[in-house]
Amino acid sequence: MSPHYLVFGNLTREFLLPPSGSPRLDVPGGSLLYAGAGARVWVDESDVGLVGRVGDDYPRAWLNDVRGRGFDTAGVKILPQNLDVREFLSYSESFEPNPANPVTQFARRELTVPKSLFGYQPLEERAGQEASRLVVTDIPEEYLSARAALICPMDLSTQNQLIAGLKRGNTHTILLAPSSVDMKPKAKRTLPVFLSGVTALLISQDELRGLFWGETHDLWEMAEAVSLYGCEYVAIKCGAQGQLLYAAGVKKRYEIPAYPSRLADLTGAGHVFNGGFLAGYCKNYDPLEGVFYGSVSASLKLEGSGAFYPLDVLPGLAEARLNVVKGLTREV
pLDDT (mean) for 4-10: 98
pLDDT (mean) for 84-101: 93
21 domain-assigned: no
| Residue-range definition of the domain harbouring residue 184 | 5-12+33-74+127-331
- Flag the least confident range among 6-15, 78-87, 106-115, 128-137: 128-137
158 domain-assigned: yes
Reply yes or no on whether the pLDDT at 127 is more than 70.
no
265 domain-assigned: yes
271: pLDDT confidence band, cut at 50, 70 and 90? Answer: very high
Asked whether 193 and 216 are in contact (CB, 8 A), the reply is no
Q: pLDDT tens digit string along 28-79?
A: 999 999 999 999 999 999 999 999 999 999 999 999 999 999 999 999 999 9
Q: How many domains does the chain have?
A: 1
91 domain-assigned: no
pLDDT for the residue 20? 83
Asked whether 44 and 181 are in contact (CB, 8 A), the reply is no
Residues 6+ positions from 240 with CB-CB distance below 8 Å:
258
37 domain-assigned: yes
201 domain-assigned: yes
80 domain-assigned: no
pLDDT (mean) for 169-184: 94
pLDDT (mean) for 172-186: 95
Looking up residue 306, the CATH number of its domain turns out to be 3.40.1190.20
- d(Cα 55, Cα 278) in Å, to the nearest integer? 28
Q: pLDDT tens digit string along 196-249?
A: 889 999 999 999 999 999 999 999 999 999 999 999 999 999 999 999 999 999
Reported in sequence order, the residue ranges of the chain that DSSP labels E, i.e. its strands, are 5-8, 12-17, 24-29, 48-54, 71-78, 86-91, 97-98, 148-151, 173-176, 200-204, 233-237, 243-247, 252-256, 330-331
Amino acid at 43: V
Asked whether 148 and 156 are in contact (CB, 8 A), the reply is no
- What mean pLDDT is reported for the chain? 95
pLDDT for the residue 129? 76
pLDDT for the residue 128? 64
- Flag the least confident range among 51-55, 148-152, 184-188: 184-188
pLDDT > 70 in the chain, percent: 99
pLDDT for the residue 21? 84
167 domain-assigned: yes
For 212, left (φ over 0), alpha (ψ -120 to 50), or beta? alpha
